[in-house]
Amino acid sequence: MRISRYHRTERIEAAISAVEAGMSFDIILMDMQMPVMDGYTATRKLRECGYAGPIIALTAHAMTSDRNKCFSAGCNEYLSKPIDRSKFFRTILQFVGPKQETVSAGG
């Protein structure tokens, strides 16, 4: 099934509404070249409404300036297409992987 550009925009708006309502997400994978509302705008809107969780940019643009643009918009990490599956999963695990408990020397 093909997702139309309107459905993608509605999903971004639904995510923004969910964040504004206090819901959280473990991670957001953001397509930076979406039509209608691009990923840069969507990321800025999510940050403006208080989403502090990780956003990973997914883009076909692989120049250093494109990477910087993603970070400037509020993304925590950047992956260029074609996506390397191993790097993709390692990146996600950096943000949502199992947390190791730390034990202090005193106890």
Q: What is the pLDDT of residues 43-86, one digit of tens each?
A: 999 999 899 999 999 999 888 888 999 999 999 999 999 999 99
pLDDT greater at residue 79 or residue 97:
79
Contact call for residues 29 and 57 (beta carbons, < 8 A): no
Answer whether 35's CB lies under 8 Å from 61's CB: no
The H-or-E segment that residue 6 falls in is helix 5-20
pLDDT value of position 1:
40
Q: Is the pTM for the entire model greater than 0.85? A: no
**pLDDT for position 8:** 62
Phi and psi dihedrals of 89, rounded to 5?
A: -70, -35
Joined together, the tokens standing for residue 25 give 């997400």
Instruction: List the 28-31 sheet strands across, edge first.
Output: 28-31, 55-59, 77-80
